[in-house]
Amino acid sequence: MKFIFTTFFLIIFFSTKAVYSASFTFPSTLTTNTSDFVLLSETGTTPSVSGFSTDVLITITATAGFVKITTVTGLEQINGFCGYTADNSSSEPANCSNDNRTEIGFEGTQAEVNNALATLSFKGDGSTSSATISVSATPTGASYNPVNGHYYRAIAATDIEWDDARAAAKSDAQKFNGLRGYLVNITSAQENAWIKDKISTNAWTGGSDSGTERIWKWMDGPEAGQSYTCAIEPLLNSGGPGATISGCSEQSYLNWLVAAGGDREPNDYNRNDEHYMHVYGALDDDRRGKWNDFVIDNDAVDAYIIEYGGQGGTATAFGAASISITSTEATDNPFDVFDDKELVGIVEGQSESAKRFIYGSTYPVLERMEWYRTTKKNDNIKFQDLGIDIDTTNKDTYPYAKLLDAYLLKGKLLDVYLLKGDVDKEHKLSNKNIEKFISELPLSQYLKNEFGMVPRKWKIWSSGYFKKGKVKVKSGKVNQEFDSDALTIGIDKIIEKNTLFGIAIRLEDQDTDVGQLGTKINSDAKSATIYSSWHNNKSTFIDGLVGYGHIENDLTRIEQANTSNSLTGNRGVKQYFSSIKFNKIMDKDNSTSLLFGRFDYGISKFESFLESGNIQALRFEEQNLKNKSISIGALTKYKKKIKKGYFLPYGRIEFFENLTPDSDVKVSYISDPNTKYSYTVKEDYSNSIKLELGFDLNLIDSWYFSTSIRRLIRNNQDFENEFAFKVSKPF
């Protein structure tokens, strides 16, 4: 099984001399199975070129693997590409559809080449872990070498002499789209091989030692005057490079012919003035691509090669595609989809959000029981002091109304008990109709039908919560920033002299930004909790709760290698959680101290889901995330009387021992479901300390405000900062 990770870089050049204003549309990334040919258009972007009013030459080269097109309608055969040895405008290049091509080239109108590019496909070779695909579009008349950015023409001219070829190459008649040419200077093995594939006969190049015997120089172009071969004084007919000559240096690549008998070129054969270099090009000549020196008028040369480039300007637009390929079979660099930090970030972000939702569902309930511990009683909302207007016209943005509508009220009950200023007093919630309101709640009906619990003397309470935080990691992963707002509404009653029993429902919206590329998690969570607080004396309390929750995550993942590629999905999460807390409270004058120990356990069941997007989309399997911890801590709160109530600054420290096991995440590409990739969400810290500073403002008219700053420090140097603001109409 072969997989690739493919990245395309598009570079577009413009020249003041250019006639065309051409551009490419090309995919930016591709990750898929390449054991067979894969259409590049499966990325969601179909390759195409624009801006050409004349015929255009397309060349596509792969340094590893294979490329092909499957539509050749209207295209023309080009010499040197797809096995063709001559241009043929009357025949279509069917060979460009073969499966064994590392380079293909074809010519046609813009519409014709775009039809072909739409079928451009790639197949890996099964072993190479990296390759490069280069694509160019050129107005017809020259071939483009993507490695050095130069253009080339092979001009047939029977028995042409070297000096005539040189003059023709530099003439105005042979300009290519504004660029002046020169006889080719061959400076690398790639360039030599590329030229060899484009000729079928011997051809003149730009090298000569006519200026100084045995010092071969390139005569024109960007290398004009540079020596490239220092020839040995010929002995009989054997010469060759490698001599030590003052003022002469050799380029790193040379390809002079060494004959079967050992004779080496250049050699001034038979003491002739062989001062001009050509390259062998006949298709049936085993010397093809080798260099040789000839006299100026040797009639064995019937072509010359013009090179364009390196002297300023550019002929047209060209696109270069750089593809990084990674195979699962490759021992040097096996592919792993989780090398993408954005993917790891959204996986871990969901896990962190799930744990925060459980914490958020338990925290206000524990606070309610803490109030009960303090007062030894449960109180109702004081409706005579309640002056809130609830706007239910936009339930998507107002969580209070959304909660009432989704959980507490059915049918016309919302209209009857709506807390709006334009509702008459008889229909507003008050001490007179609170019992009726609670008894008509669906939750109360359920308790009555299933457990025989009649809702008498139940009290209602609420708590609003706004939170903002950041998870800063130092282990090479991406950071997370989140903000949330939530509302909890509960009802409870004293069922025995020393026992409080209650039920709470919570609605929370949370947005998490993962990293800096745009990956995000938008979550809506709902939970229901049953709780109880029991005490046997004035200072010792035991609090406990169990709950169920559900999260809907709207996910947006940005590929790290291609930030323009966005993949989306929706994932549900079911949660079950419980907590038990032991408390020791100590009062002294205006201060209260609390020592506590706590055990928390929860499980989050992530549903399987499919991403939407292109061929890089993933399928996520079901995942179970367990989180459990024990903690001990202390709280100190000071109570100061103010004009309209009490101001209570406090400090809290809590030490957590993390007992959460690892959780495995398994994914596969939708296009290749048989190959699985795994990632383990590790709890890479064993303990943490939470420090909290804040204050409560408890007003006489029963409004309760609280704000705090918390910092969670883990022993792996990760940390989480949180700012919270809470408002409630307390008990």
Per-position DSSP letters for 19-35, written without gaps between them? S---EEE--SEEEEE-S
Euclidean distance between CA atoms 303 and 187, whole angstroms: 20
Q: Which pLDDT score is estimated for 69?
A: 96
Euclidean distance between CA atoms 537 and 550, whole angstroms: 37
Q: On the CB side of 566, how many CA atoms lie within 13 Å of its CA?
A: 9
CATH 2.40.128.130 in the chain is located at: 337-378+458-730
User: What is the CATH code of the structural domain delimited by 150-308?
Assistant: 3.10.100.10
Contact in structure between 595 and 584 (CB atoms under 8 Å): yes
Mean pLDDT (10-residue bins), the chain, 731 residues: 32 31 73 81 85 84 89 91 87 95 92 94 78 78 81 92 97 88 97 91 96 95 96 81 94 94 86 91 94 94 94 58 47 74 92 90 85 53 30 37 40 36 47 56 58 60 71 68 85 80 92 92 95 83 94 94 87 96 86 90 96 90 93 90 84 89 92 88 80 81 70 70 62 40
Euclidean distance between CA atoms 695 and 650, whole angstroms: 6
Give, in words, the CATH class of 337-378+458-730: mainly beta
Q: Which pLDDT score is estimated for 716?
A: 63
Contact in structure between 707 and 724 (CB atoms under 8 Å): yes
β-pair type (566-588, 540-558): antiparallel
Contact in structure between 42 and 14 (CB atoms under 8 Å): no
β-pair type (121-123, 66-68): antiparallel
Which residues lie closer than 8 Å to 570 by C-beta, 6 or more apart?
Answer: 552, 553, 554, 555, 609
Contact in structure between 541 and 533 (CB atoms under 8 Å): yes
Euclidean distance between CA atoms 588 and 611, whole angstroms: 58
Helix (H) or strand (E) run with residue 351 in it: helix 341-375
Sheet arrangement for strand 66-68: 38-39, 121-123, 66-68
- Which two structure tokens, joined as six digits, stand for 158? 């029977």
CATH 3.10.100.10 in the chain is located at: 150-308
| DSSP structure class, residue 372 | H
At 18, phi and psi to the nearest 5? -70, 140
CA distances from 510 to 193, 462, 480, 485 (A): 60, 19, 12, 7
Contact in structure between 206 and 275 (CB atoms under 8 Å): no
Tens of pLDDT, residue by residue over 419-441, are 334 445 454 444 455 556 556 65
Q: Which pLDDT score is estimated for 446?
A: 57
Q: Which pLDDT score is estimated for 272?
A: 81
